[in-house]
Amino acid sequence: MPPRTPEQSPILLLIDDAPNIHRLLAVKLKDEGIDFLAALSGEEGLQLATSHQPSLILLDINMPDLDGFEVLLRLKNEPSTMEIPVIVLSAAHDSELKVRAFELGAMDYVCKPFDVPELRARIQSAIRLTRLMRLLEHRAQIDSLTGLWNRAHLNKRLEAEINQASRKKTPLSFAMCDLDHFKKLNDTLGHPAGDLALQTFAKILQDQIRDYDTACRYGGEEFAIILPNTPVSEAVVVCERIRQAAEVASWRKYPDMNITASFGVCDRPIEGREDAQGWIEAADRTLYAAKQAGRNRVLPFSEIPPDSKSDKSNAPKVRLAG
């Protein structure tokens, strides 16, 4: 499951083997605008933390089979859950246990029997902090000009989609695209026209892809599209639709302006690389070939020269300008 956006209702996950604690907090927190999740064991709590990405975890220390310290350790060692804040609940007032909890990554420690209003205040404070941190993280991954995801987000998202496609044995396609002769457009009509071209092309991307596809501004006039569960033949069709929409776009403020775009589409990385950078390199080399072939076209990875498909290739790393 992707991380929750700042606008979604916060989720509180309670991991405690005592059903009466679950009943108490469910009643006391029902009017707090929080979605409540319950786990009666450490293993169940770990599964729910991974699948639901809660805003906050309340974690009991004294549980059978898997105690709270072990659960906390696993949460903080797992990339998908390590950023979720944890408040430890315990009947023990021992300072050594408190220190251990903080050293393992807990953000707070509340002793049982707890004062409900105080716990409520601590929960709301932790959720506000989490919401702020996620909002900052979210904004840091958005391109300010186009509103698309930026390169930092692309790298993380592509790696995640590669891993998921590998686990589930499902197809994955990735495309790099570039506005043709963009420097000439900027030089001729000015940077405001160039900015408008980028913003309009970004909107075309968003209009043409599906909700679960990811469009990013890679940098300058270059964009990237991640298409999960999509064979390359279908990805080519999507990119061709985007190319055609860009070509016929009209510009009231700049009636003489027109834009075209070139696309490189791959369904695998270059030979010798299995990571996200290998996929980016494959799509980038294909985009280079599309530029060399005359621009304003969609080219799949399968159609580029065989000696350009390997990590050991001497294929050009610098693309034709525009």
Q: Which residues are tagged catalytic?
A: 221
Query: Distance between CA atoms of 223 and 186, rounded to whole angstroms?
Result: 17
Q: Residue 140: CB partners within 8 Å, gap ≥ 6?
A: 152
Query: Distance between CA atoms of 322 and 313, rounded to whole angstroms?
Result: 23
Tokens of 266: 């791959």
User: What are residue 210's phi and psi, to 5 degrees?
Assistant: -85, 165
Query: Distance between CA atoms of 110 and 87, rounded to whole angstroms?
Result: 7
Nearest to 261 by CA among 190, 193, 200, 192: 200
Tokens of 239: 């990119």
Strands 222-228 and 261-266, bridge-based pairing: unpaired
Query: Distance between CA atoms of 316 and 233, rounded to whole angstroms?
Result: 26
Instruction: Label residues 22-51 b or e (16+ Cβ within 10 Å = b).
Output: beebeeebeeeebeebbbbbbebbbebbee
- On whether the CB atoms of residues 247 and 296 are closer than 8 A, the answer is yes
Strands 108-111 and 86-90, bridge-based pairing: parallel
User: What are residue 32's phi and psi, to 5 degrees?
Assistant: -95, 0
Query: Distance between CA atoms of 155 and 170, rounded to whole angstroms?
Result: 20
